[in-house]
Amino acid sequence: MTSVLVEPAERGQRPVFDTVLVANRGEIALRVVRSCQEMGIRTVVVYSTADSRSAAVLAADEAVRIGPAAPRQSYLYAPPIIEAARATGAQAVHPGYGFLSEDPDFAEICARNGLVFIGPEPSAMRQLGDKSTARKIMTDAGLPVLPGTIDPVGNVGDLVNAANKIGLPLIIKAAAGGGGNGMAVVRDWADLVPKFRSTRSVARSVFGDERVYIERYLENTRHIEVQILADQHGNVVALGERDCSVQRRHQKLIEESPAARISPEIVDRLRELAVLGAREVGYTGAGTFEFLVQGEEIAFIEVNSRIQVEHPVTEMLTGVDLVREQVLIAAGRELSLRQQDVRSNGAAIECRVNAEDPDNGFVPRPGELLEFLPPGGPGIRVDTSAYAGWRIPAEYDSLVAKVIAWAPDRERALARMNRALREFRISGERVRTTRDALRAIIADPVFQEARHTTSFLEPQGP
């Protein structure tokens, strides 16, 4: 019989896992390892040949190589991950974010092999992973959505008919999309059919699913998301909102909480809607409900059925270890807090330092890091797996480090972030980063005054 560990502070409750396998890489793998080790849980990290000297590999109790650098032969390939879990005695798999984290098939494979998937039930992931289906479910649950098609658009005739009803501008989205991929904004009727075809092509290539749907595109909106936790006993809590309106190519660069210049009434409504939506699909684990806000208008966008890249913002404000809660929920425990227990203190902001060239369309610029000295000081947290001498692999996401600043209020949090980014020493062979671009955004009067929207960096849209 596989042994399990009972945390000393929680004797008498159901035990958590003895060993957890982390099926991911980079800073999120290291982040999961740290929380598990603090809980007394043994950790196993899988890695590709490109990550053999990663910080997560060095920190884990055991590491197993699963394949070459190409994701489809390593981090996206289930068989060696499952074999590693079985061989090392793992009882659960934490998928992090990206890769297989929102793949219901992988969750089912884990279950068939006696492994607990630390995430939502496959049925919930399957419903929410299809953006078109998620729109229909949330509409039926009473969440507001933008005018658009409920079912995927299959041909040009249906596209034109729907577009005429919705009007311009509109956005074409891949039903299986995510990570900012598979989206195209249409502002001119002449672009409608070409962008429809190109988006379907991207969706087919990236997601293996060419289905797309369309909806009204709101200009100059705020992108606000709500962090939720839900256990297997019907308890759901909202841990607050995050503003992630500063984006390039629909991918986030800066996230903060609380959302400045958003009324308390709107924030309360967003939290209520997120909890309502989670209950509708029987959600369990950590998740994020995403909305667009324009004035008093709210529109549901999608659900991310996993831990978010920007989860440290919420952790800094609430003191809740979201990864720890994920593990406990997966082990069958009840949530350690109720809605009335949630307290938010101060202001927090996160900047994603990516290996990209801001002067050249944010194209990736990986390479070997010759200098890497993260900032510190009061209220600063840095989530990273990078170090001097480490080579940033070209095969993966360009994220190098997340810098999070906390302060009693937004003004001081921004000043602290500016100081931290200025202090951050990072350079390398052919490496360019977004550090200075982030400082410029932080200093911009529009951002300082919280008048920024999703069009802040891309006023003309994609």
Q: Where are the domains of the chain?
A: 8-118, 147-216, 222-448
- CA 22, 28, 33, 35 torsion: positive or negative? negative
Is the pLDDT reported for residue 370 higher than 70?
Answer: yes
Q: What is the CA radius of gyration of the chain?
A: 21
Candidates 1.10.300.10, 3.20.20.150, 3.30.300.30, 3.40.50.20; correct CATH number of 8-118?
A: 3.40.50.20
pTM: 0.91
The architecture of the domain spanning 147-216 is: 2-Layer Sandwich (3.30)
- Indicate the fold that domain 222-448 takes in CATH: D-amino Acid Aminotransferase; Chain A, domain 1 (3.30.470)
Burial 183-218 (b: 16+ CB within 10 A, else e): bbbbeeeeebeebbbebbebbbeebebbbbbbbbbb
Summarize the confidence of residues 26-47 as an average pLDDT: 97
As a dihedral over the C-alpha atoms of residue 454, residue 456, residue 459, residue 462, rounded to 10 degrees, the angle is -50
The model's confidence at residue 7, banded by pLDDT at 50, 70 and 90, is very low
Token digits of residue 196: 């429809």
Using DSSP bridges, classify how beta strands 42-48 and 19-22 pair: parallel, antiparallel or unpaired: parallel
How do residues 66-118 score in pLDDT, each as one tens digit? 999 999 999 999 999 999 999 999 999 999 999 999 999 999 999 999 999 99
Is the pLDDT reported for residue 296 higher than 80?
Answer: yes
Cβ neighbours for 168, distance < 8 A, ≥ 6 positions apart: 186, 187, 188, 189
Chain centre distance of CA 89: 28
Token digits of residue 350: 């996160």
Lowest mean pLDDT among 275-279, 374-378, 399-403, 457-461: 457-461
As a dihedral over the C-alpha atoms of residue 459, residue 299, residue 338, residue 257, rounded to 10 degrees, the angle is 10
Q: How far apart are CA 2 and CA 332, in angstroms?
A: 17
Using DSSP bridges, classify how beta strands 19-22 and 92-94 pair: parallel, antiparallel or unpaired: parallel
The dihedrals phi and psi of 59, each to the nearest 5 degrees, come to: -85, -25
Whether 222 is catalytic = no
DSSP 8-class letter at 51: G
**Residue 329 and residue 235 in contact, taking contact as beta carbons nearer than 8 Å:** no
**184-189-191 Cα angle (round to 5):** 45
Residue 31, burial from CB neighbour count under 10 angstroms (0-12, 13-18, 19+) = buried
Summarize the confidence of residues 305-321 as an average pLDDT: 97
**Residue 169 and residue 184 in contact, taking contact as beta carbons nearer than 8 Å:** no
Summarize the confidence of residues 173-182 as an average pLDDT: 80
Mean pLDDT of the chain: 93
Long-range contacts of 60-67, Cβ-Cβ distance < 8 Å, separation of 24 or more: 60/22, 60/33, 61/37, 62/88, 64/88
Q: How far apart are CA 102 and CA 137, in angstroms?
A: 18
Q: How far apart are CA 237 and CA 16, in angstroms?
A: 21
What type of residue is 214?
Answer: I
DSSP 8-class letter at 221: -
Q: How far apart are CA 73 and CA 68, in angstroms?
A: 6
Active-site residue, selected from the candidate residues 31, 222, 306, 352: 306
The model's confidence at residue 15, banded by pLDDT at 50, 70 and 90, is low
Total number of residues shown for the chain: 462
- CA 301, 302, 308, 309 torsion: positive or negative? negative
Classify residue 433 as left (phi > 0), alpha (psi -120 to 50) or beta.
Answer: beta
Lowest mean pLDDT among 173-177, 257-261, 382-386: 173-177
Q: How far apart are CA 150 and CA 127, in angstroms?
A: 13
